[in-house]
Amino acid sequence: MPELVFFSGTMDCGKSTLALQIGHNRSARGLQGVIFTRDDRAGEGKLSSRLGLVTEAVEAADGMDLYGYLVDQLSQGGKVDYAIVDEAQFLAPEQIDQLARVVDDLGLDVFAFGITTDFRTRLFPGSQRLIELADRVETLQVEALCWCGARATHNARTVGGEMVVEGAQVVVGDVNRPAEEIGYEVLCRRHHLRRMTAAAARAGALSPDVLPVTSA
């Protein structure tokens, strides 16, 4: 049975790498797929991994009908066996509905990859709709690490090396940008709540936690 599968995780957990691997494995078996992406770090119409792998993709722009696009491909004699969607958190909820229709009406597997929450720990609308509709939600098992070595669970946005919690939900940046630019960093919950990025930790030593003391 075809499925809509949502692979979720923080930045740096290998989502795009897995998307490329799924495409490679199916291509090796003679299957043909369409890869959609949105606002990839490598530029428009690209799916890229932090490991340096890049492939061509279809840019899923605002208002694009993903179901209609695939119907057009099939109507023109194209062969489509599955669809891969990277950066799915940036899609509108109605586009996620279209992906569900691709599964149900066209009988194609759809593999969606994305971040669940933004830098404010709020659900992306696209991710929320995927959680609501997906046949399966898979959390990637490759753990990204906070600068302290703990498992990273939250995405942080930085400006000039300092963590910010206000601003537009979608601002394209990267973990490898210079500190003076908009960038992103993965943190454990403890350091996300304290707004303690790697740069902030280097600026001053962390004081040990002090337990509350009550008199007898």
Give catalytic residue positions.
87
Nearest-angstrom CA–CA distance, 42 and 44 = 7
Burial label, 44 (beta-carbon count in 10 A; 0-12, 13-18, 19+): exposed
